[in-house]
Structure 1
Amino acid sequence: MPTLREGYEIDPALAGLIRHMRAIDDYRQVFDRLQASWDTLTLLGQLSGNATEMSGPRSAFEKLTASLLGHLAKETRDKVMTDLRIKAQNAIDVLVRNLFERTADIGFLAADTDIREMLEAPASPEARAAIEARFRDYVAKYSVYSDIVLVDREGTIRARLQPHEAQQARHPLIDEAMTSTGAYVEHYGLVDFVADRNALVYAWRVEDAAKRPIGVLVLVFRLADEMEGIFRKLLPEHDWTVLGCVSPEGDIIAGSCPIQLPAGLKLSPAALQGRDPVIRLGGRQYLAMACRTVGYQGYMGPGWLGLGLIPLEAAFDQDDGELGKSIGEELLAAVTSQAGLFSAELRNVSRQAAAIQGDLNRSVWNGSIRQAGSTAANAAFSKILLWEISSAGRKTQAVCDASIGDLHRTVVAAIMEKCRSRAAFAIDVMDRNLYERANDCRWWALNASFARVLAGPSPEGRRLCGEILATINALYTVYSNLILFDAQGVVVAVSQPSQAHLVGQPLETEWVARTLALRTGQHYAVSGFEPTPLYDGAPTLIYTAAVQSPVGGRALGGIAIVFDSTPQFAAILADSLPTDEDGAALAGAFTILVGSDGRILSSSDPRFAVGDASPLPVDPAALERDGDLACIRSFEGKHMAVGAALSKGYREYKTSDGHRADVVAVCAVPLGEVASDSAARPAAGATSVTLAAQKPADGVEAFEVATFHIGRHWLGVRARDVIEAVDIAGLKPSARKAGDGLLAGYKLHEGQPVPVLRLARLLGIPDASSDEQQIVIVRAAGRTLGLIVDTLGLIPEIAASELQPLRELTSKTDVPALGVVATRNARGEPAGMLMLLDVDRLGAKLQGEGGPALVQAAE
């Protein structure tokens, strides 16, 4: 297996990437320096006889740091690859949703009455001018098209939007559109009568009343313009990522950087298969990720892939910025154990580091106990050595914790960014969807048959309008109903036979008057998102446009399109849920759409009903300023990563057409439980064992105290009464109980069973067990006794005069303690209250003697 410098083994898949990860190399250098300290201490330990106390932790730390560096490298790579995957996936999925609308457009427009009549009549300049004016009207509403070409049965170009020298269309797509059994023809490539470069076009035949083909209509999609807009939204400023759209054969369709990824460039198909994340392009190495679309309503697009690239030299230099800084230590502690966020291997590294440090703490503590009261010549040297060993362990643990913490922070920041990205995706797709709705109603209102029937209604005319609406609704499945109404607001025709009872009924709603007041075909009206009988009493949006008289600009009536909001919004939110690498939604994740009033428009989680207040309100001023945000919130007892994005519109929609509706998409992922009882945790710094740096002056009567922590309480016993601290593993439960369950069980020590006392229960301290629990073996009342403690503490030397007898603090005489000591740090500041226990009286407690709890007595 390749190595990361000397002594560190890594995954072969990382061998070519690791040298670009500067943060990993920084940690390696720190670990190298610590390893040198361990080597020196090992040599000194051999001189003092303490080598056996540290050889185990030293070796374990050495293996752990190697494993940790490997995990850091893997997670660093995976974060970058995940970011590439999100961007590439979003790019191709947004494009495919756009193209899905185009497949419906071509079917509808090819059935337009005016276009059919133009092909059936003899060619004339006047007819061509009229139909080309209609094309301009269409593109004024659907600005995604650069050209529209109408070809007759003989291949003669009868009308088009853009000037071009071609007079005939002989491309094979014309014959395919004339004879295909599908619903449209989608083609990408050179089309001689369109342009001298590749173009994406949609074509379909125009039929006469007898369903015989009489020509072909071709829509030319503004692919480069559309891809530029998609890339711009996905790539923030100063982002090194390059995005592209690529065919399965490796042909670049469009790229976000014309220098690094120009259209027409050819990549090896193998580079798109993901076997090696590194590809070479133009003399530069890139990390690469290619993604297939998930499709939309069964439509998979032209078969293209989204491609994400980032130069290898810059891939691992992008930090987490403000997102990383917003993640505090409490949150990191809460999320570390979450199985869904971190791999089992990484969680095991954290546990191993804590376990090794616990073993080292115990070794140092026991070494200090053996030196307590010693007058041997090397006692002082041994204590200093133990202090240095402890210091080396703490430094190693600190670096391990810092590196793991940085990694956890990176993972959490990545989830926050994923939430922001998915919220932005949801709102962008919603804007694009509603852009089409605003266009549809305006274009359909131009249908000549509607104006004729509204100007001179008849039963046959109403039937014809109903058929036209039904044909449109069959192509555009996002509507629950299409309604044509006259100048009095009375329904003339509907698209759904089940809604035929509406015909002849007046529409009693405020948007009818607003629609009839519209004076041009470029304007539309839209209802509020509210319940309506036109949608079975559920809330939805209804887009409307006026049907104008051919002369005078008078509104003859209008068309109302009832958006099928419930399944459409639900599909958008379902597709926006953050997922893992296998495509499964992250556990507990949800997305919602929220209106400007703070009420829910749609939710992926059934707990949050439409119309309810948003469970995660966001700052509207921050969204207005930044457009989107990511943060950590507390919700239902959990830390939640939250991303939010404000509706920004799409093309003309909500940017220049006068319509404004502030909708926010919110995406949330649970990160971990919010700690409910922080008071039960050991005090900060309680897990680190150090030796007292200060001691009483020479000649002052003093004694050493072996201290430990239970919850936030600092307790101790005389060091001379301690045999050693041992691991709690192997504790055998007792068959009998003593003193209300004070006896925890028996621990085999030096071949003999030792009774172990639940010290917390005896002292009236709430049980707050930790992963670092130890058993302190003491000599008590002529017998050996074990005490369960949470963590080991300092071993200071205390002047006898500093011990304040407990009888001076309380009148109770049955408390198993000798007294308390008010301690101070090196600067002379108060450093806590230490309570010195009486081991003999603790032993008596186990035999059923004693009185009330120590903590209660001392209060």
Structure 2
Amino acid sequence: MTQGSNKVYRKGLPFSAEVAPLLHAMPLLEEYREPLLRLQGAWDSLALLGQMSGAATDMADTRTAFEALTGRLLDSLARRQLRHAVGHLQGRSQVAIDILVRNLFERTADVGFLASDGPLRALLNADAAGELDTGDVEALRRRFAAYVAKYSVYDQVVLLAADGRRLAALDESSCAPVVDDPRLQGAFDPARAFVEVHGPTGLLGGRSGLIYAAAVSGSDGAGSGGVRGLLCLSFKLEDEMLGLFRALCAGVPRSVLVLKDAQGRVLLTSDPWQIPLGAPLADAGEAQGWRLDFAGRDYLACESAASGYEGYFGPGWRAQMLQPLQHAFADAPAERQAGRARDLDTRELFDEELRSIPIEARRIQRELSRSLWNGKLKSRAQAQHGVRTGEGAVAGQAGGNAFAVTLLNEVERTGDQLRQVFERAIAQLEDGALDAVFDGAGFQSELAISIVNRNLYERANDCRWWALDARLQRALATGDAASAESVLASIHALYTVYSLLLVFDIAGRVVAVSDPAQAHHVGRSLQGDWVSGALGLRDAGQYVVSSHAPSGLYGDDGHAPCLVYAAGVPHPDGAATVGGIAIVFDGAPQFRAMLRAALPEQAGAAALLVTRAGEVVASSDARWAPGDRLPMALPALTGLPADQHVTGELELDGRVHAYGLAMSGGYREYRRLTPPDASDLAALVMLPLGERLAAGESSGAGAMAAAFTSAPPAGTKTLDVASFLVDQQWLGLPAMQVVAALERQRITAWPTAPAAVRGMLGFEGRMLPVLDLGQLLFHRPCGEEAALMVCQTGAGQRLVLAVQQLGQVFVAGAEQLQPSPTRPGWAAQAQVHLLKGHGPQMLTLLDSDDLWRLVNGVVEAQAPALTVD
């Protein structure tokens, strides 16, 4: 049955359509539904007793309000659980596809670079001339092996003739002698720089793989009419993705991550026992409540398409993450971690409806307190009247009063239990929202450093790949600067993440650069440890990297900090080093883009890339520039182990932020298992939570302390006290001086009255002055949500008091009273006493005669037309 346009009834309560089909999988919901419905049943019984006896106050409105709020609370709890679970899955599926696409973008550049390699073109020409030599083929195979030794993401490199014949292969045993694949032939199209093909292929002996292919022209550089061939690179897709899948599925019980093709078929899966390869898998979006039925099992599922990188969106694949519905909401929220404060203004973390629930709960509680106040005051007044008039024979009346008080106490207890359930549920909602932010900060920091690690892995490999380029080796050996410049420019056109590429001779002098606009560097003698380090390398598998510092090669003035990766360039005959190649990473925009890619869509979120020493390398936020010091102390930074992350909270610009800090651990063979160093990189993600609340502001008034509510010993003199809260302090009046608690109503302004007098209010046909006790006593008004109560002097004059919150009407022992040691200002002649509880708690007992004297003169002098009782 549907209520309105988007509510569905389940077990007698209305729920949003998106969560209604999932309620059976949410045990936490049942944890709150049962006690709330049980207490409402008890409420019905109490209301019936009250109607039968005529002793209880009308509770119909309160019961209806609690029932409506119960539906809203449980619906909000269900939607919050769903949002949290979907956020887990959606974020991880997005990360999976985006990291893959970033990785594949580098492959598109690699195949373009290697397709222009001189030895490949020479082998093509030799084949066309019928002069192919087995020695040349073996030399090229070794060259392939040298390239792959630096890029472990490839498992096969093949050079094919235009007719599909295998000319050279890294692994000849797995490559067919002739590869006839029309999909690969598409690389000969002049309009296509490369093709990417996935599926079974003769390049890999018939097994499935992801192949990047680009056309190779003969040494004459001819186009479609010249000598042509195909260079094919096989990317280790399964090796790459299964490792990523394992990392992303960690912490999400029984979850499965899959990679799907454009037709929705599963290409790769983290768990083939749950979701097998080749299975057709539908999307599950918000319209279906994120619910997916596969092979007779219900899953919560989220799917993500690639966000794109440098204009490249990959092969059109999508990532989908699934979690069995029975496990998606099964885990109870963990206890709040130590050190995470609760005194936060977290309104920004909740939507409007959720924020309104505690406000509505407080309103209902105020109305209940007012109703109970009036009922207890009436019962106690009747009892006192019976004592004063000597009506000892009215045993029935006394019994009725006792029953009424007992019933009201039971109503109060039930209402308090309802309030506690609501408060516990709301606190759990708040904790869940906060935990989601902290979890998100940790996850996003891990994501940010993972993206950085993978990106820098490519940079370390690029410089070593290009050092093997025969054209660059020959140009440096012969001093042919023009040829070197041409090669660098063609490489730079493929790899857009660099600010500058350059080669230098054995003296460290710049021979050629990739960007004509920076030709002023040619002839310059380079300085820095990275220069001598590159020239001193004797192993083609090694590289050096500068510290993140100015090198004179980056920025408008050449003095911005940057990372420079460099490798030695060997002589063409391999005899000695003839110079080096340096690549200047365009860190300012590239690092900023990486950090922003790792941030959630949350206002005020920021991410920084920092060193262990506390230097800012990059920032998503303009407040921090490269080279700045970290704006806050993070003790965990210096000792955090590689590949580990921590979360916590910090204060920045007057606001509390959740942070995640993740330390780099490298990627594949890049910086793995290296000892800690001051230059190690870490990602810091900061997500705003809210401002720190003033002391006492977060907890509210709370219930009346048990110190005042325990019954005094039998036979002792007693006093009935009506308690209330003002500025977080407990005050009270003798109950016999309190007439009633009022519903909220309009107060008539009184512009000439003192600040503590709010105005006038009508009660039982008379206009009464309204005194704000917060303003009077503490110079802090009680606010628009103040509770109103009518009190009466011994002479019968009445006034209205505005207080923060009503407490309880209780019996205290007269021996608990003691005179107040202080008489500040207005209280110099007042009868102020302190009521001592059982413990340190104290209640200040006022007297209505003193309060009346404060306003009586003003009323008589300035409002003679008003009748004051």
Quick check: TM above 0.5? yes
Matched, 1:713 2:729: yes
Q: Which amino acid aligns with 2:540?
A: G
Q: Which amino acid aligns with 1:26?
A: E
Matched, 1:202 2:212: yes
Alignment of 1:137-176 (within 5 A): 137-162=146-171, 163-164=173-174, 166-176=176-186
Alignment of 1:590-605 (within 5 A): 590-605=606-621
Alignment of 1:341-356 (within 5 A): 341-356=349-364
Alignment of 1:430-441 (within 5 A): 430-441=452-463
Aligned mates of 1:462, 1:314 — CA distance in 2? 64
Aligned mates of 1:167, 1:273 — CA distance in 2? 50
Aligned mates of 2:642, 2:477 — CA distance in 1? 49
Partner of 1:583 in structure 2? none
Structure 1 residues 813 and 274: CA distance shift in structure 2, 3 A: closer
Alignment of 1:686-835 (within 5 A): 686=703, 692-695=709-712, 697-698=714-715, 700-738=716-754, 741-763=755-777, 765-767=778-780, 769=782, 772-780=785-793, 782-800=796-814, 802-806=816-820, 815=828, 817-824=830-837, 829-835=838-844
Find 1:302's aligned residue among 304, 315, 339. 315
Find 1:665's aligned residue among 683, 702, 726. 683
Offset from partner CA, 1:396-420 (integer Å, 9 cap, x none): 0110111121122112111211111
Offset from partner CA, 1:795-819 (integer Å, 9 cap, x none): 233444543345x765989536323
Of 189-198 and 124-133, deviating more is: 189-198
Tell me the matched-pair count. Answer: 825
SS at match of 1:374: helix
Q: Is the 8 A contact 1:205 1:216 kept in 2?
A: yes
Structure 1 residues 788 and 403: CA distance shift in structure 2, 3 A: same
Deviation at 1:244, TM superposition (A): 1.0
Aligned mates of 1:646, 1:505 — CA distance in 2? 37
Find 1:653's aligned residue among 656, 662, 670. 670
SS at match of 1:401: helix
Deviation at 1:768, TM superposition (A): 5.6
Find 1:369's aligned residue among 372, 377, 393. 377
Of 273-282 and 172-181, deviating more is: 273-282
Deviation at 1:618, TM superposition (A): 5.1
Aligned mates of 1:75, 1:757 — CA distance in 2? 42
SS at match of 2:50: helix
Deviation at 1:658, TM superposition (A): 8.9
Q: Which amino acid aligns with 1:259?
A: W
Matched, 1:212 2:223: yes
Matched, 1:29 2:21: no
Aligned mates of 2:114, 2:574 — CA distance in 1? 26
Aligned mates of 1:157, 1:648 — CA distance in 2? 40
Q: Is the 8 A contact 2:306 2:313 kept in 1?
A: yes
SS at match of 1:631: strand
Of 446-455 and 465-474, deviating more is: 446-455
Of 400-409 and 371-380, deviating more is: 371-380
Structure 1 residues 266 and 493: CA distance shift in structure 2, 3 A: same
Of 679-688 and 651-660, deviating more is: 679-688
Q: Which amino acid aligns with 2:680?
A: D
Structure 1 gap ranges (5+): 580-585, 851-859
Offset from partner CA, 1:479-528 (integer Å, 9 cap, x none): 11111001110111110101112212211222111111100110000000
Aligned mates of 1:836, 1:407 — CA distance in 2? 38
Structure 1 residues 734 and 510: CA distance shift in structure 2, 3 A: same
Alignment of 1:415-494 (within 5 A): 415-457=437-479, 461-494=480-513
Structure 1 residues 273 and 255: CA distance shift in structure 2, 3 A: farther
Structure 1 residues 816 and 352: CA distance shift in structure 2, 3 A: farther
Q: Which amino acid aligns with 1:36?
A: G
Of 688-697 and 549-558, deviating more is: 688-697
Question: What root-mean-square deviation, in Å, do the aligned CA atoms of Structure 1 and Structure 2 show?
Answer: 2.5
Q: Which amino acid aligns with 1:589?
A: A
Matched, 1:516 2:555: no
Deviation at 1:710, TM superposition (A): 0.8
Find 1:228's aligned residue among 220, 224, 242. 242
Partner of 1:582 in structure 2? none
Aligned mates of 2:170, 2:592 — CA distance in 1? 38
* Overall identity of the aligned pairs, in %: 37
Structure 1 residues 720 and 235: CA distance shift in structure 2, 3 A: same
Partner of 1:857 in structure 2? none
Partner of 1:251 in structure 2? 265
Matched, 1:607 2:620: no
Deviation at 1:228, TM superposition (A): 0.9
Aligned mates of 2:286, 2:251 — CA distance in 1? 29
Partner of 2:114 in structure 1? 109
Structure 1 residues 553 and 629: CA distance shift in structure 2, 3 A: farther
Aligned mates of 1:56, 1:329 — CA distance in 2? 37
Find 2:605's aligned residue among 561, 564, 589. 589
Deviation at 1:172, TM superposition (A): 1.0
Partner of 1:357 in structure 2? 365
Structure 1 residues 602 and 757: CA distance shift in structure 2, 3 A: same
Q: Which amino acid aligns with 1:171?
A: D
Q: Which amino acid aligns with 1:182?
A: R
Structure 1 residues 668 and 136: CA distance shift in structure 2, 3 A: same
Offset from partner CA, 1:159-214 (integer Å, 9 cap, x none): 11122351112211332111240221122223233342332111111123333251
Find 1:189's aligned residue among 192, 195, 199. 199
SS at match of 1:643: strand
Give the TM-score, by structure 2 length.
0.90
Deviation at 1:550, TM superposition (A): 4.3
Q: Is the 8 A contact 2:704 2:808 kept in 1?
A: no
Of 643-652 and 563-572, deviating more is: 643-652
Q: Which amino acid aligns with 2:217?
A: E
Q: Which amino acid aligns with 1:654?
A: R
Partner of 2:849 in structure 1? 840
Alignment of 1:503-582 (within 5 A): 503-535=522-554, 536-551=558-573, 553-579=575-601
Aligned mates of 1:746, 1:549 — CA distance in 2? 98
Deviation at 1:682, TM superposition (A): 7.9
Aligned mates of 2:176, 2:824 — CA distance in 1? 110
Structure 1 residues 113 and 684: CA distance shift in structure 2, 3 A: same
Structure 1 residues 26 and 743: CA distance shift in structure 2, 3 A: same
Q: Is the 8 A contact 2:216 2:230 kept in 1?
A: yes
Offset from partner CA, 1:25-70 (integer Å, 9 cap, x none): 1111111221222122112222442444322212211221122112
Aligned mates of 1:601, 1:841 — CA distance in 2? 67
Aligned mates of 1:142, 1:679 — CA distance in 2? 59
Structure 1 residues 90 and 319: CA distance shift in structure 2, 3 A: farther
Deviation at 1:110, TM superposition (A): 0.3
Deviation at 1:664, TM superposition (A): 0.8
Structure 2 gap ranges (5+): 3-7, 384-396, 860-869
Aligned mates of 1:19, 1:733 — CA distance in 2? 54
Alignment of 1:73-112 (within 5 A): 73-112=78-117
Structure 1 residues 608 and 193: CA distance shift in structure 2, 3 A: closer
Structure 1 residues 849 and 587: CA distance shift in structure 2, 3 A: same
Deviation at 1:625, TM superposition (A): 7.1
